[in-house]
Amino acid sequence: MLIGHNFDKGEYIVENRSKYIGDKNPAYKSSFEKRFCYFMDHNPKILKWAYEPFEIKYLNIVDKRIHRYFPDFYFEEIDNNQKHRKFLIEVKPSDQTIPPKQPKTRNSKAYKRYMYEAYEFAKNQCKWAAAKKFCQEKGIEFQIITEKSLFNRD
């Protein structure tokens, strides 16, 4: 439904198998995830990584039901200070990390799009709150990576 994003899908073939945690290659759902797989696989600071490694239950405030959330990536690295760090990463287009703007045109198509984007934004906020809590309990850092930072990594 979002225009302007390249939602590529496929299987990423892991080259550095000793770093990857998982039995089968990741099935990425966007060009952003594909790029992050490559980054994880080829960055020498990354000790190990996984795709959609954890299930986190969260309460969706809109439908008042418990749902399952699978964050995109987990990885462990040695940073520049030789400190071992653990991360849980969600890869999202930047426009999905901010509240949607109300449409300027008043037609049903614009309104439906706005309502969809508002629902998705609220749902993501619930997921990310649950992920932050999960990470605090496990000593993991939670981050949301967008194309603004993703394509500047190397």
The CATH number given to whatever domain includes residue 85 is: 3.40.1350
Asked if residue 1 is part of any domain, the answer here is no
For 90-126, write each residue's pLDDT tens digit. Answer: 999 999 999 999 998 889 999 999 999 999 999 999 9
Distance from C-alpha of 101 to C-alpha of 12, rounded to nearest angstrom? 35
Query: Using the 8-state DSSP alphabet, how is residue 91 labeled?
Result: E
The answer to whether residue 67 is domain-embedded is yes
Total number of domains in the chain: 1
pLDDT in tens, 25-75: 999 999 999 999 999 999 999 999 999 999 999 999 999 999 999 999 999
The number of residues making up the chain comes to 154
Domain that holds residue 62: 10-150
Asked if residue 31 lies in contact with residue 8, where contact means CB atoms within 8 angstroms, the answer is yes
Asked if the structure places residue 3 within a domain, the reply is no
Q: How far apart are CA 77 and CA 83, in angstroms?
A: 8
Domain-located, residue 16: yes
pLDDT of residue 106: 83
Task: Say what the pLDDT of residue 7 is.
Answer: 66
Q: Is 146 a domain residue?
A: yes
- Tokens representing 103? 């449409």
Identify any residues that bridge with 68 across adjacent strands, giving them in sequence order.
Answer: 57
* Assigned domain for 35 exists: yes
Encoding tokens for residue 25? 């290659």
